[in-house]
Amino acid sequence: MYYIDSCPRKVYAFDFDINDGTVKNQRACVSFAEGTMDKFGLPDGMTIDNEGKLWVACFSSSRVWRFDPETGKELQEIKFPTTNITSVCFGGPNLDELYVTDSRQNAPNLDQQPLAGSIWKVTGLGVKGRAPNNFKG
């Protein structure tokens, strides 16, 4: 399991015991260092691809980043013409389209960001999302 805590700028990983339903072993799998606010902004929404890598929407940085949760290394960057990127998810018939949302609220220089508040579709990434887990209970 993963959890993003925007203010300390960390993505945490947890172990989940399916037998007793407990969550344990919290650890930071991605940490954004001081002095990197312009590059990474605040981690916000996230999704996981079929290779187990994390795609993190970074608010106030105009970017979505792909990270390896085992090493914390950045693997890929997608830059947008808007500032406040909020969330990401895979979709489409083959789960190979990345949908990205951003916020118009509190966006700086709105006159220079006419597309602020849009939903973006990114294709050609070479990876797919994971099929959803359906609740059976």
Structure tokens at 109: 């220089």
| Span 47-94, pLDDT tens digits | 999 999 999 999 999 999 999 999 999 999 999 999 999 999 999 999
The length of the chain is: 137
Q: Which CATH class is domain 38-122?
A: mainly beta
| Span 19-28, pLDDT tens digits | 998 999 999 9
pLDDT on residue 14? 97
**How far apart are alpha carbons 28 and 80 in whole angstroms?**
27
Is 44 among the residues known to form the active site?
yes
- Average confidence score pLDDT of the chain: 95
**AA identity, residue 114:** P
**How far apart are alpha carbons 38 and 129 in whole angstroms?**
28
pLDDT on residue 133? 81
pLDDT on residue 134? 80
pLDDT on residue 107? 87
Task: Count CB atoms within 10 A of the CB of residue 103.
Answer: 18
Catalytic residue among 15, 44, 49, 111: 44
